Chain A
C-alpha cells in the first residue's frame, strides 16, 4: 500500500486505526470459509464521517475497498483482493437506540447479532434472525449477506427484519434508505440493498425490527433409524400445516461428532435426528407439539423426546449451533456447502449426497435447515492430500448440480461472494447478470467497492462454463466451485 494513502488513512481514522504490517494483515486474509487473500491495509472506522472520508480517498485513488464485520462469513465476501483496503466496521459497535414503542432498534454495523436480543430481552423483545455465528457475527455483515439461521423458518431472514439503513456510497456520499416505518414511499431500496454483499455501499447504521418474545417455547428431538425416515418427516411436517419456529436435521455422523464435542444429549446410534422447535401461545405450542410428535411417529421415528426444561432445551440447541466447530475437531479441513432445494426433494437429495460421499470416499456430514430445504453438507478432507482436495471439489460440484437440477439455489444464506461467483451463470442467464451489473453500477459505478464478488465479470461468463454435471452452464476445468 502506498505510503501516502496509509498516511491519509491514519489522518482520517487515527494512528491506532490502521494496520499495514504483514503480521497484522495476516489476521484479515481469511473469513470462516476457504478462500484466502491478504489486503493492502486494514482501517477501522469509528463513525460515518470517517467511512465517508475513507471512501472518498479510495474513490479518488481508485483503490478497491472491502467492508468487513466480524469476518464470520462463509463465502469470501469480506476478503480483500490484493492491495485492497479492508474497511472494518467492527469498532462501530454501539446500539444507538432501543425504541420499544415502535418495536425498533437502531444499531451501528459492528454490533454483534446476539447483543441486540440481549439488550432488548428486558422489554420482552428479541431480534429474530439468528445465524449459528450469532455470538460473533455483526448486524452489518448480516445485512450484507441477508443472513438466515434456524429460526428464520417461521420468522423470515434479515431482509424481513430491516426497515432502515444509512449507507455510504463509493464516492463518499451518505444516503438514507427507509426508516422506522414498516415501508416507505417509492422504490424499496432498503430491501434491495440487503443481501448485496458489500457491492453497493457501506452500511453505517441499521434500523431493525424487534419481535415479541413468545409466551412459550418447546423443543422436540425426533430420533430415527434411517435418514430417509427423517427426511420424509420433514416433508410430512411441512404438509401438515404446522410451521415450526425451527426444523433442523443432523445425520448420524454429525450426531456422533457433536456428542463427542458437547454432549448435547443426542443418541449416538441414531441415523438422523430432527430438532424441532415450536413457539407461540402456550396452548398452540402444546397442540403443535402433540401433532408434530404424531407426524414423527407416523414417519417411523424411533422415539420423540421433548426438552424437559430450558436447560435441556439450550443443550439440544448447543449441539446444533456448535456442529461446525465439532467437525473442526475431527477433520483438518472441511468444505461447507449451502445449497437449497424444494422441500419435497430433501429425501432424494440426501440419498444423492450419500452416493456422492461413497463415490469419492469422503465423509460428508449433514447438518441443516431442513424446514427451508437449505442443506449444509460438510465435505471432510485432508488439505495436505491433493487427491482428497481435488475430490472434495468434485463432490461439492456434484452436490450443487443436484440442487440446481431440482430447481434449487447455489446459496440459501451464506452468500455468493468469491466462493460461488463462478456458479452464478448456472442459475442466471447473461441478460439476468447484466441487469444485475447495471443495477450495481447505479450504486457502485466503478466497482471500487468489493470488486470481483458476487457477479462474475460478464466477459468471462462463457469461458467459465466448464463441466458442472447436468447443469445448464458449467464452470471450466480448474475453476473452483
Chain B
C-alpha cells in the first residue's frame, strides 16, 4: 500500500494548492515501468510546483516529475510513486530576444514549439533529439537527451545558460541567467542537465540561441567494412572540413530509418529484405553547412567516398528519422533493448563490433547508430520473433556487452522490457564518484522523494 492511502486526503490538500480541476486520479496510460502514481497534479506556476513538493516532502510522498512522457520508461523500476507532477501547464516562451540570441522557456513547453518561434527569426537551438513535438524543454534538460547535431554544437548543457527549479523540500532556486557568459554562482545548469528529475523539478530554462544555417547538404558514404568506415572517420577528423553532423550507421540500421507502422505483435520483425541477405554496408552520414562554394568543396573532397547527396525535404526527413531511430525500433519491437554508450572516441569501432558480436551470441538482431566523433552511440538489440528472449537473456547480453567495452567506456540501458530490469543494473558503471553523487542528491532532496529508485542516485 502506498503512503498516499495512509495519510488522510492528499488529493484535497493538493487541490488546495493547484485547484481541484488540476488534480486527477492517474490512469494506466501513466504507468512508469508498471508502477502507478495514485494522483496526477498539474501545477500552474513555479510557486505551485514548490508548494506541491513541500507538501509531498512533509508527508514522505514520492514524486515523479513528467513533461511529455516520452522518456519515463528510462531507468529502474520505481519502488513507489505517489504523485505524478505534470509540467504541461508551465508552458510558453517567457522571454525571447532575437537581437540578444537568448530565450527563456517554461519547462512544460514542447521543444518543437520553441524551435518554431525561433525559426521565425531564422534562429534555432541546434538540438535534434527524438520526439520534440511532445518532449518538453524541462524533460529534455532533465534527461540530457541529444541528437546528431551534438557533433558540432555540444549537448543542451553547452547552451543552457540559466535554470529555475523547485527543490524537493519546496524551495525555489535558480542558477545562471540570461547572458551568454556568466560565472556568478555554481553552475546549476550542469547539475540539473541529466539529473533525471532526482534533484529538483525544473520549472524554466534559458538558452543561448544560434543563427539557423541557411542551407545544408548531407553526404552519405558507404563502406564495405567497419574498418573502412573508421578510416574514413579518421580522414574527416584530420581534415579542415567542419561538418555539423557525423553519424555512423551499422548495416541493419537502414531497416529502421523509416516511419514505422505500429507493430502487429510485440516482436514484429519485418526487414526490408530477408535476414539472410541483410546488408553488410556501413555508412557515415555527414551533414555540411555553408555557401555554395563551401558545399562544392565538401563535394570535391568527398568525391571518392560519397555515394549519395541529400538536400531539401529528403534531407530533413533523413535526419528526423536518424533522431527517431530508437523510437522507431521500439515501435516495431516492443521488447527491444536500447543502450546509450559513453565512449572515448577511439572506442567507437570496438563498441560497434561488440554490439554485432554479442547480439549474435544472445539471439538478438543488432543495430548501431550514433555520433561517430563524440562517442555517443545508440546500441539496439532486437529480439528474434522466432525465439523470444527470457529476462535473464537480456541481463546476460548486457553483461557480456559491458564486458567488451574499452577502458573508460560505459553503457546504460535506456529501454528494455520492464520484466528484465530486476535482473541487472540498468545504469551500469560511471567514472564519476557515486558517493559524491549521493551526497549531492541528499543535499537538496534529503528525504529522497524525487524519482526514488529510478536513477543512479
Contact = CB atoms under 8 A, between A and B. Distances in A.
Interface of A: 99, 101-104, 124, 145-146, 148, 152, 156-157, 159-160, 164, 169, 175-192, 194-196, 212, 214-216, 235, 238-243, 280-284, 287, 340-345, 369, 372-374, 407-416, 420, 424, 427-429, 431-436, 438-443, 454-455
Given A340-B181, A439-B191, 14 more contacts: A99-B346, A102-B344, A152-B181, A180-B408, A184-B432, A185-B412, A187-B191, A191-B187, A191-B190, A241-B212, A281-B290, A344-B99, A431-B172, A432-B174
B178 interface: yes
Given A282-B240, A341-B179, A410-B184, A241 B432 contact: no
Contact of A181 (B157, B238, B290, B375): B375
Nearest to A423: B184
B270 interface: no
A185 B97 CA distance: 34
Interface in B418-444: 427-437, 439-444
Interface string B162-180: 0000010001111101111
22 contacts: A103-B237, A176-B431, A181-B344, A187-B195, A188-B191, A192-B187, A196-B186, A280-B240, A281-B290, A283-B291, A340-B180, A342-B99, A344-B99, A411-B182, A412-B183, A427-B184, A438-B443, A439-B191, A439-B444, A442-B440, A442-B443, A454-B185
Interface string B46-80: 00000000000000000000000000000000000
Interface of B: 97-102, 122, 144, 154-155, 157-158, 167, 171-175, 177-188, 190-191, 193-195, 199, 210-212, 214, 237-238, 240-242, 290-291, 293-294, 297, 342-346, 374-376, 408-410, 412, 427-437, 439-444, 455-457
A38 B431 CA distance: 38
Given A148-B181, A235-B99, A184 B431 contact: yes
A408 B154 contact: no
A214 B240 contact: yes
Q: Is the interface of B mostly helix, strand, loop or mixed?
A: loop
A206 to B, nearest CB: 14
A216 B241 CA distance: 11
Given A342-B100, A412-B181, A434 B171 contact: yes
Given A281-B297, A284-B290, A181 B182 contact: no
Which of A124, A156, A281 counts the most chain B CB atoms within 10 A?
A281
A373 B157 contact: no
Contacts of A238: 99-101
Counting from the closest, the 4 A-B pairs by CB-CB distance are A191-B190, A215-B240, A241-B211, A175-B433
A427 B179 contact: no
Contacts of A341: 179
Contact of A185 (B177, B342, B375, B436): B342
Contacts of A159: 187, 190
A476 B82 CA distance: 47
B342 A284 contact: no
A435 B191 CA distance: 12
Nearest to A454: B185
B185 A416 contact: yes
A433 B440 CA distance: 15
A146 B183 contact: yes
A185 B456 contact: yes
B194 A187 contact: yes
Contacts of B144: 183, 188
B173, B185, B293, B456: which has the most chain A beta carbons within 10 Å?
B185
Contacts of A212: 237-238
A184 B376 CA distance: 10
B297 A340 contact: no
B97 to A, nearest CB: 6
A195 B443 contact: no
Contacts of B294: 281, 283-284, 287
B184 A424 contact: yes
A283 B440 contact: no
Contacts of A415: 183
Contact of B432 (A156, A189, A373, A411): A189
Contact of B430 (A145, A186, A240): A186
A408 B179 CA distance: 6
Nearest to B200: A435
B142 to A, nearest CB: 12
Contacts of B343: 181
Nearest to B179: A340
Contacts of A179: 344, 408, 431
A82 B147 CA distance: 51
Nearest to A426: B184
Contacts of A429: 172, 174
Contacts of A409: 177, 179, 181-184
Given A159-B190, A181-B343, A185-B412, A439 B185 contact: no
A159 B429 CA distance: 23
Contacts of B99: 235, 238-239, 342-344
A466 to B, nearest CB: 19
A124 B238 contact: yes
B344 A432 contact: no
A372 B410 CA distance: 36
A235 B100 CA distance: 8
A258 B221 CA distance: 51
Contacts of A427: 177, 184-185
Contacts of A196: 186-187
Residue from B186, B433, B437 whose CB has the most chain A CB atoms within 10 Å:
B186
Contacts of A103: 237, 345
Given A159-B190, A438-B443, A101 B346 contact: yes
Contacts of A414: 183
Nearest to B237: A212
Contacts of A343: 99-101, 180
B102 A175 contact: no
Contacts of A157: 181, 183
B437 A187 contact: yes
A442 B436 contact: yes
Nearest to A212: B237
Given A281-B242, A409-B182, A435 B171 contact: yes
A412 B97 contact: no
Given A281-B297, A282-B240, A181 B409 contact: yes
B442 A442 contact: yes
A440 to B, nearest CB: 7
Given A152-B181, A424-B185, A192 B191 contact: yes
B181 A374 contact: yes
B179 to A, nearest CB: 4
A174 to B, nearest CB: 9
B342 A183 contact: yes
A116 to B, nearest CB: 18
A411 B346 contact: no
A194 B436 contact: no
Contacts of B342: 181-185
B143 to A, nearest CB: 12
Contacts of A181: 342-344, 375, 408-410, 431
Nearest to A409: B182
A189 B183 contact: no
Nearest to A146: B183
Contacts of B177: 407-409, 427
A195 B187 contact: yes
A104 B408 CA distance: 13
